[in-house]
Amino acid sequence: MNSPLYIEVAVPFPVYNTYIYKVSEQYADLIAPGVRVFVPFGSKRTTGYVLGFANKKEFKGKILSILDMLDAKPIFPKSMLPFFRWASDYYIYPIGEVIKTALPKKIDFYEQTFFSITDAGKKFIKNNKNLSTKKKILNALIKKDLTIKGLQAKSGASVPASLLYSMEKQGFLEKYSEIKGKSSFKRKIQKDRLGEKIIRDVPYPLTKEQTDVVEHINASLFNGFKTFLLAGVTGSGKTEVYMNIAARVIEKGLSVILLVPEISLMSQVERRFKARFGETVAVLHSSLAAGEKYFEWMKILNKKAKIAIGARSALFAPFDNLGAVIVDEEHDTSYKDSGGFGYNAKDLASVRAKLANAIALLGSATPSVASYYNVISSKYTGLYLKERVKKRALPNVEIIDMRKKRDLKGINKFITPELKLAIADNLKLKKQTLLFLNRRGFANLSICAQCASPLRCKQCDISLTLHQKDNVYRCHLCGYFQSANAVCNVCGNRSIKKLGFGTEKIEAVISKLFPNAKTIRIDKDATKKKGSLVTLLKRIKNKKADIIIGTQMIAKGHDFPDITLVGIICADISLNFPDFRAGEQTFQLLAQVAGRAGRGDLKGRVILQTFNPAHFAILSAKEQDFIKFYNQDIVFRKGLNYPPFSRLIQIKIESKNKEKAAKTAYSIGKLCKNLMKKTAKDSIEILGPVESPIAKIASMFRWQILVKGTNSSTLRLFANKLFFDNQKAFKVSGVKATIDVDPIFMM
């Protein structure tokens, strides 16, 4: 018998080490990096991910054996391991859980190898009287096909893979694979998410600007890593540029990942890429059923697909020969995972491209301040599309100063006479209108008529929003709700004033103003049921909706040529958030939603209602000028030493016990300040601890500490030392203390 084989395994638990296991002879020829194994771990048994082979000398103590192999071949390529290790190190997150996040969720499916006896094998049994290991194996297969593990149990003999391979070569047995799991699945006909058949197309003639951009990128393809920022106005044809680059990459036998920020944008991107590239496109996103995800994953792994399209998690598509990683709408905060593994897919896209020696292409009409700063500092290469395709004009944007409308009554407070007239005119032209309000519900503030106390969520530190259609007050953070007939929980009074407005109220008002118009609403509430968003988008596409009322779900990326009027009900909702990115996010959202207008033959019109008409974010959005916005916002960032002039790490402390949350926050805060004095007092700044702006969510009291550093490496070393040297402080019973690297959501 050969010397035992040892492997390095990561387990999907909150542990930061990897572990060494022994591989028995029966699996020795099959084990490889990227294969899942079933292993004992403490008192449990769990799935583990093989990272590579190991030396016994690296581990002191008893080494346990794997219990089983779950895959006949790797479910991710070995080339992805450096990427997983980098992400684990940078985001201070266990590598086993990084890999678990990367794989399709609920991946209960796995490929299992079976062996069956052939006629030659049956003849061998008949002609050989000696009970050899071969004969034992073949006898075990007479009644039933078996796996290696089944063969070992049935025959009572050791079954090395090398012997099975030899018997297969001799023709005594045959090998085949089956997909095993909790349910079966079938491939679907090639259709888009709107349910329409996809017809193949050919590349469109490029504009002069598009040609220049494509030629510039092509000159860098296959020559090492480089990151490009493509800043193209809305409707300038960025997707056609992406497809041209993808065609060049797959022509050379390499692969492409294309990320979109939200599943709602998948339909048109998926349709266009499948029309151009057909079956070579795989799709990865959370709306797919488990079997469908597994099929798409294996399609990539088996090299049947060259292009993977999807939301954030598509970044982990198992390609081992990447040529390009493309990030559409790169500014979008949806690329930041707000869960446990708080990675930013936009940032990791450049890392994955770098490790693959590929290019990263980031595209947006409203690039993030950080990305454009990287262009200015020559870290990225800037490329520009300043004109819409077919020379279509950008929409005219009219600003309505709502300060002058304070005396208006009723519906005129939020649907001004100017907007009302514009909608009526657009309906006469038989064109579509988009009304944008980034606030759902009917009334966003309800207060007691007697004591003026707001109706508040019992589990969160925010007021409840009335949802009239469901007849409930609902919390938009934790989902808590109570009947719309509820009384004031302070004084018991039944008279509740309903103030403010959301998309549901706008829908009700518009239906009264324009009763003959076909009105639809697209927000989180209207798209709860599976497939409902696709149905609504299809209605817009097929011109079965005259007026669309929506939140940011409809504000970006969509291309509906018949939308010629956009009304922005209230442009100021996000402007006054206690966040240094508030101006940036307001500008991006307004410029993006304005860009939905006039993408067909008629010029678009935008009516923007605001209480801050002179704010530079509003004026820059009016002119669709991201450089103008950047030049003003970057001065503010520099003065306060905020990103991109520094990097941030957020320490979040949450507990159902108010005192425990505060005590833990102060304890970790003290550790931060002591460590800063010892190691990095000139390059690290500690802000806090303080209660979070929303101090309570889902019954959890929330505190935070911000660690600001001018050097990324120093900041990471600081965070690692703080976390790993002070595990006792971070693991207090009843308290959840986590580190978020490069935070986006700081409320």
Cα–Cα distance measured from residue 133 to residue 172, given in angstroms and rounded to the nearest whole number: 13
Cα–Cα distance measured from residue 379 to residue 227, given in angstroms and rounded to the nearest whole number: 8
According to the model, what pLDDT value does residue 109 have? 55
Indicate the pLDDT class of residue 184, thresholds 50, 70 and 90.
very low
Q: Which residue has the tokens 């039933």?
A: 144
pLDDT at residue 734 tops 80: yes
Q: Nearest to residue 383, comparing CAs of 232, 208, 220, 226?
A: 232
Distances (CA, A) of 616 to 516, 586, 633: 39, 10, 9
Q: Are strands 519-522 and 36-41 parallel, antiparallel or unpaired?
A: unpaired
Residue 386 lies in a domain: yes
Q: Please count the structural domains in the chain.
A: 6
According to the model, what pLDDT value does residue 69 have? 86
Residues 706 and 622 in one domain: no
Query: Which of residues 104, 129, 150 is at a domain's end?
Result: 104
Chain centroid, CA 628 distance in Å: 29
According to the model, what pLDDT value does residue 186 have? 44
CATH number of domain containing 150: 1.10.10
CATH number of domain containing 92: 3.40.1440.60
According to the model, what pLDDT value does residue 442 have? 67
- Average pLDDT of the segment spanning 398-408: 88
Mean pLDDT, rounded, of the chain: 88
Indicate the pLDDT class of residue 1, thresholds 50, 70 and 90.
very low
* 680-708 pLDDT, tens digit each: 777 899 999 999 988 989 899 999 999 99
Cα–Cα distance measured from residue 150 to residue 148, given in angstroms and rounded to the nearest whole number: 5
Residues 93 and 136 in one domain: no
Residues 369 and 253 in one domain: yes
Residue 746 lies in a domain: no
Cα–Cα distance measured from residue 473 to residue 457, given in angstroms and rounded to the nearest whole number: 9
Cβ–Cβ < 8 Å for 693, 462? no
The three-class DSSP label of residue 298 is: helix
Neighbours of 612 (CB within 10 A): 18
Name the DSSP class of 131.
-
According to the model, what pLDDT value does residue 325 have? 98
According to the model, what pLDDT value does residue 196 have? 60
Distances (CA, A) of 500 to 122, 446, 506, 555, 577: 81, 8, 11, 22, 17
Least confident of 291-295, 398-402, 428-432: 291-295
Residue 353 lies in a domain: yes
Residue 203 lies in a domain: no
62: its two tokens: 């008893």
- Tabulate helix, strand, coil % of the chain (nearest 5): 35, 25, 40
The DSSP-derived string for 587-615 is HHHHHHHHTTSS-SSSPPEEEEEES-TT-
The residue with greater pLDDT, 498 or 163, is 163
List Cβ neighbours of 339 (8 Å cut-off, separation of 6 or more).
none
Residues 399 and 483 in one domain: no
Residues 215 and 304 in one domain: yes
Query: Which of residues 56, 76, 104 is at a domain's end?
Result: 104
Residues 496 and 509 in one domain: no
* 212-245 pLDDT, tens digit each: 999 999 999 999 999 999 999 988 999 999 999 9
Cα–Cα distance measured from residue 658 to residue 672, given in angstroms and rounded to the nearest whole number: 21
* 554-594 pLDDT, tens digit each: 777 677 889 999 999 988 888 877 788 989 999 999 998 88
List Cβ neighbours of 297 (8 Å cut-off, separation of 6 or more).
75, 103, 104, 107, 282, 284, 317, 318
Residues 549 and 620 in one domain: yes
Cα–Cα distance measured from residue 8 to residue 5, given in angstroms and rounded to the nearest whole number: 11
Cβ–Cβ < 8 Å for 12, 47? yes
According to the model, what pLDDT value does residue 2 have? 58
Cα–Cα distance measured from residue 484 to residue 472, given in angstroms and rounded to the nearest whole number: 4
According to the model, what pLDDT value does residue 179 have? 63
* 589-646 pLDDT, tens digit each: 999 888 888 788 788 999 999 999 999 999 999 999 999 999 999 999 999 999 999 9
Residues 517 and 409 in one domain: yes
- Average pLDDT of the segment spanning 253-276: 89
Query: Which of residues 637, 664, 687 is at a domain's end?
Result: 637
- According to DSSP, the residues that pair with 433 across neighbouring strands are 547, 565
According to the model, what pLDDT value does residue 557 have? 66
Residues 683 and 712 in one domain: yes
CATH number of domain containing 515: 3.40.50.300
Neighbours of 398 (CB within 10 A): 14
Residues 175 and 272 in one domain: no
Q: Angle at Cα 598 formed by Cα 592 and Cα 600, nearest 5°?
A: 125
pLDDT at residue 728 tops 60: yes
According to the model, what pLDDT value does residue 489 have? 78
Cα–Cα distance measured from residue 162 to residue 156, given in angstroms and rounded to the nearest whole number: 17
For 59, the domain range is: 5-104
According to the model, what pLDDT value does residue 193 have? 52
According to the model, what pLDDT value does residue 185 have? 66
Q: Nearest to residue 500, comparing CAs of 579, 570, 561?
A: 570
Name the DSSP class of 5.
E
The strands making up 381-385's β-sheet, listed across from edge to edge, are 281-284, 307-310, 255-259, 322-328, 359-364, 226-232, 381-385
pLDDT at residue 195 tops 70: no
* 634-678 pLDDT, tens digit each: 999 999 999 999 999 999 999 999 999 999 999 999 999 999 988
Residues 417 and 548 in one domain: yes
According to the model, what pLDDT value does residue 202 have? 80
Residue 191 lies in a domain: no
Residue 161 lies in a domain: yes
Q: Which percentage of the chain shows pLDDT scores above 90? A: 56
- pTM (2 decimals)? 0.86
According to the model, what pLDDT value does residue 266 have? 79
Residues 621 and 525 in one domain: yes
According to the model, what pLDDT value does residue 190 have? 47
Residue 201 lies in a domain: no
Residue 185 lies in a domain: no
